[in-house]
Amino acid sequence: MSRHLSRRNFIKLAAAAGGATIIGFDLRERSWVTQAQAQTRSFQDVPKLDGVLLFDEATRKAIAIDRGNVYHRIPAAVLRPGSVQDVVKMVRYANQRSLKIAVKGQAHSYYGQTQAEAGIVIDSGSLNAVQAPIGDSVDAQPGAVLGQVGAAALAKNLTPPVLTAQATALRKAAEPPEVRELARTVDEMEKSFQARRATLDPAVKAIYEKGLESLDSSIDECRTSVEQEPQNSLASEYLVAAYTQKAAVLESALQFEGH
């Protein structure tokens, strides 16, 4: 049998490699070895997992990115854990074989801190359970996002110390229907005011903005009271009154002709 590599056979081999980087030739298997295949073959005796250990190129490339979008260090494998024990097992596995290992959440980091070139990246997104609050604390797994934590906290009339726009929306969703409708009206009026504020006289604008700032503070205080005591009808009345006052101030600003 001829050992000559014809042009036709070379094209077939190149196509089979799919454009991947070829690093050698396996004499026993009589086939070219790509970098991805070499990395995958190093994973022997992987412990039994509740989740999955992925080796496909698409998954490995997709996880090799972060908020900085400067470094793209492709791992040899991606772990999507099904339990905390999966993480323990794979950290031990990586240490025994001197493999790099990193954990990636929502990719908010920079400079490739959550990447592990030729190693293992743990995708924490599959561990996202949030337990019901006990006392004034919430136990959340690393893959949980703030919106999930906020939903669990608000269900027990608790408010996380830091609220994103998504969590603020959850707070509003917990308000009585008549308050939510009034809040939507006020939000629309405030958007109109923001679009027009540049045309107002600076002195007049300062007066309106100071009044709105004070009312926003009152609304926040009333909303907190409603969340802490949802059955307190007086707290809801105060919140409605605060929104109504803000609507009146915004209406006055929108109708003001002295700009």
Q: Which one is predicted more confidently, 113 or 59?
A: 59
pLDDT of residue 39: 56
| Residues 179-208, mean pLDDT to the nearest whole number | 84
Find the helix packing angle between 202-228 and 177-196, rounded to 10°: 160
**What is the pLDDT of the chain when averaged over all its residues?**
78
Confidence of residue 22 (pLDDT cuts 50, 70, 90): low
- State the SS3 of the chain: CCCCCCHHHHHHHHHHHCCCCEEEEECCCCEEEEHHHHHHHCCCCCCCCCCEEECCHHHHHHHCCCCCCCCCCCCCEEEECCCHHHHHHHHHHHHHCCCCEEEECCCCCCCCCCCCCCCEEEEHHHCCCECCCECCECCECCCCCHHHHHHHHHCCCCCCCCCCHHHHHHHHHCCCHHHHHHHHHHHHHHHHHHHHHHHCCHHHHHHHHHHHHHHHHHHHHHHHHHHHCCCCHHHHHHHHHHHHHHHHHHHHHHHCCCC
Please determine, for residue 5, whether its predicted confidence score (pLDDT) is greater than 90.
Answer: no
Please determine, for residue 145, whether its predicted confidence score (pLDDT) is greater than 60.
Answer: yes
Please determine, for residue 167, whether its predicted confidence score (pLDDT) is greater than 80.
Answer: no
Tell me which of 161-165, 183-187, 213-217, 243-247 is least confident. Answer: 161-165
pLDDT of residue 259: 47
Q: Which one is predicted more confidently, 84 or 177?
A: 84
pLDDT of residue 3: 53
| Residues 63-78, mean pLDDT to the nearest whole number | 83
pLDDT in tens, 23-32: 455 555 566 5
Tell me which of 39-43, 62-66, 141-145, 194-198 is least confident. Answer: 39-43
pLDDT of residue 249: 86
Confidence of residue 210 (pLDDT cuts 50, 70, 90): confident
Q: Which one is predicted more confidently, 35 or 148?
A: 148
pLDDT of residue 37: 55
Q: Which one is predicted more confidently, 249 or 233?
A: 249
Taking a C-beta distance cutoff of 8 angstroms, is the pair 200, 259 a contact? yes
pLDDT of residue 81: 94
Confidence of residue 52 (pLDDT cuts 50, 70, 90): very high
Confidence of residue 218 (pLDDT cuts 50, 70, 90): confident
- State the SS3 of 136-161: CECCECCCCCHHHHHHHHHCCCCCCC
| Residues 96-122, mean pLDDT to the nearest whole number | 85
